[in-house]
Structure 1
Amino acid sequence: MIGFIGAGQVGKTLGRYFAKHGVQITGYYSRSYESASKGAELTKSQAFKELRDLITTSQLIMMTMPDDRIGDMAVHLGKLNLDWKSKIVCHTSGVHSSALLEPLFQQGVTVASLHPMLSFADEDYALKVLGQTPLTLEGKGTQMNELKKILQVVHLKVRELKTEQKSLYHAAACIVSNYLVTLMDIGIECLVKAGFEQHSAIELIEPLATGTLHNFLEKGSEAALTGPIARGDVGTIRTHLQAISKENKHIEEIYRLLGESTLSIVRKQNQLDEYTLDGLKEVLQNEKGNNRNYQKNENEK
């Protein structure tokens, strides 16, 4: 039986998923009873007004609340005079490990963190793809195997993670999700400054962005990477930088940093000579390469 502390998008989606796969949901407790009632309605469970009652009737307690509240809630729960034997408490923060639940571990609770590598902005979509989405799990306690069994029963794809690597893992998730959105937004901004309407700019980038992501997932970074840096087009990169610099110095700096990181992939492709690679690096770093003679390389592209 699973109880949820927190009835936001993550809590409701997970509750619906577990219920859909035959796991009994005890119910929800939330700072807003209205939110708890909504979660209970979706899972045919109970909305709790008292946190103690939720804990008492649940074997697995999922803490699906904002990250900043997890530590304080763990301290609060640890002070409750309850029988914690055989209980499992699991939070869903991406950045924090189970160490945040140490006050409960000291009470004999099995503590864990379970993080789906998924956006919950659209609950119905998240529910649809959750079964195909990898989740990372780390924790400690006597009931860890029991927790793994529960997750296996509902066919969740779980990858175990070392506690000390949780922050780096979450940083990676932010880069490929949050910052991907940022990069798309920057590209749209450049297109708008080039004279396109917002909707036209989005139409322009959609096939390019989706195709690139497909190629990366199917073939890996070395095979998926194309464009002027991969071709060694120093003049093109210089032209890009000059154009961007006139519009937005901040975007210019982002372009330079991403370009330098891209060079590490280009080196693995092993298609460019060191002279061209050095020229690309110089132009990306500080434009010192402007006066070098790359005419041969550019004529041969």
Structure 2
Amino acid sequence: MSTAPDALPPIALVGAGRVAQALAIALARAGIAVAAVGSRREALGAGWPESCPQPCSPQAAADRAVLVLLTVPDDAIAPTARALRWRPDHQVVHCSGATEVAALAAAAEAGAATGGLHPLQIFSDPVQAAERLRGSTAAIEADGELARVLHRLAARLGLRPIVLPPGMRVRYHVAAGYAASFLLPVLAQAAGLWKTFGVDESDALAALLPLARGTLDAVEGRGLAGTVSGPIARGDAGVVAAHLAALEAIGAPEAAFYRGLARPQVALAQAAGRLDEAAAARLNDRIGP
């Protein structure tokens, strides 16, 4: 009997945290059964799909599946791989963005295929994360048949795949952090400045988040350089100097934070053709080292 082109092998999740819960919800919505969930928990909490089996031991979960997704914390990936008995037909995949596939060496030594599948999304709320997975990106690192399986899995979940070469996971993860948690210090700095003239954080964020979302929407349609705006894009060195003077009056760290963000904006404005070399030089001179 022939196998459907998008058929997937039996899947187990080892680890029952937020990433596992989000994946279980997304898999259920895609009509993909989870064969087993390996965990030390006695029962799965609310929010897990009813079709998901109750936890068993990690070894029992691995024994019931071919494709085993390790959804444990980074520091537990290598110890978990060493603790389990693997078969040559196993496909062992961790879901970390930062940890190298080499952490699965124990599985590879047993003859299993190993790889990485990192869904690029925030998992602080698993239910919301499951909803946001469709249209998000999956970073895949694998070879041969396992690579084909992971691309099929990504397609079924509505994930857009990118291929990670070996050794690039940490660089990839740093970049993801810039686009996610590194946005928080920028918003914190903005809200902190508004607090100096009496606007509390909740009101500041209510005003600033629509602006941030508008910027992100513009980036999606026009790219990074095409979205740059404000006094730097206009070459208004006088306004930049006024910004720095106001920040230096508050403290050196505030001015240094601004300078660190302003310099890359000059480069983006040049890339967009908004600034000629002379205007860029004037801005960089005002921004300083």
% identity of equivalent residues: 25
- Deviations 1:33-58 (CA, angstroms, capped at 9, x unpaired): 14x53389534333344322111111
Q: Does 1:16 align with 2:19?
A: no
State the match for 1:144 in structure 2.
Answer: 147
Structure 1: distance between partners of 2:130 and 2:182: 23
**Aligned residue-pair number:** 280
Cα deviation, residue 220, structure 1: 1.2
User: Any conservation in 1 of the 2:138–2:154 contact (CA below 8 Å)?
Assistant: no
Instruction: Give the AA of the match of 2:28.
Output: A
Q: Matches of 1:40 and 1:26 in 2, distance apart?
A: 18
Q: Is the 8 A contact 1:16 1:42 kept in 2?
A: yes
- Cα–Cα, structure 1 residues 237 and 122, in superposed 2: closer, same or farther, change >3 Å? same
The answer for the alignment partner of 1:115 in structure 2 is 118
Counterpart residue type for residue 4 of structure 1: L
Counterpart of 1:202, as a letter, is: L
Q: Is the 2:88–2:112 contact (alpha carbons within 8 Å) kept by the matching residues of 1?
A: yes
Residue 170 of structure 2 aligns with an amino acid whose one-letter code is S
Q: Mark the CA change 1:148 to 1:219 in structure 2 (over 3 Å): closer, same or farther.
A: closer
Instruction: Determine the C-alpha separation between the residues in 1 that align with 2:138 and 2:102.
Output: 18
Provide the C-alpha distance between the structure 1 equivalents of 2:130 and 2:96, rounded to a whole number of angstroms.
18
Bigger Rg, structure 1 or 2: 1
Q: Secondary structure in 2 aligned to 1:46?
A: coil
Q: 1:98 to 1:140 in 2, by over 3 A?
A: farther
- 1:118 deviates by 0.7
AA paired with 1:189?
Answer: G
Greater Cα shift, 227-236 or 196-205: 196-205
Q: Aligned AA for 2:109?
A: Q
CA contact (8 A) 2:36 2:56 kept: no
Provide the C-alpha distance between the structure 1 equivalents of 2:130 and 2:55, rounded to a whole number of angstroms: 24
Structure 2 counterpart of 1:176, which letter?
A
TM-score where L is the length of structure 2: 0.89
Counterpart selection for 1:27 from 24, 36, 39: 36
Q: 1:268 to 1:98 in 2, by over 3 A?
A: same
Contact persistence 2:39–2:57 (CA under 8 A)? no
CA distance in 1 between counterparts of 2:276 and 2:227 reads: 20
1:51 pairs with 2:58: yes
Could you tell me which runs of 5 or more consecutive residues in structure 1 were left unpaired when the two chains were aligned: 287-301
**Structural mapping, 1:117-132, within 5 Å:** 117-132=120-135
Task: Tell whether the 8 Å contact from 2:37 to 2:58 is kept in structure 1 after alignment.
Answer: no
Q: CA RMSD in A?
A: 2.1
Consecutive unaligned residues of structure 2, counting only runs of 5 or more, are 1-9
Aligned residue for 1:4, secondary structure, equals: strand
Match of 2:286 in 1: 283
Distance 1:230 1:149, change over 3 A: closer
Contact 1:27 1:39 in 2 (8 A): no
Distance 1:37 1:273, change over 3 A: closer
The 10-residue stretch of structure 1 (206-215 or 5-14) with the greater mean CA deviation from structure 2: 206-215
Give me the whole-angstrom Cα distance separating, in 1, the residues matched to 2:48 and 2:127: 15
Moved more, 138-147 or 84-93: 138-147
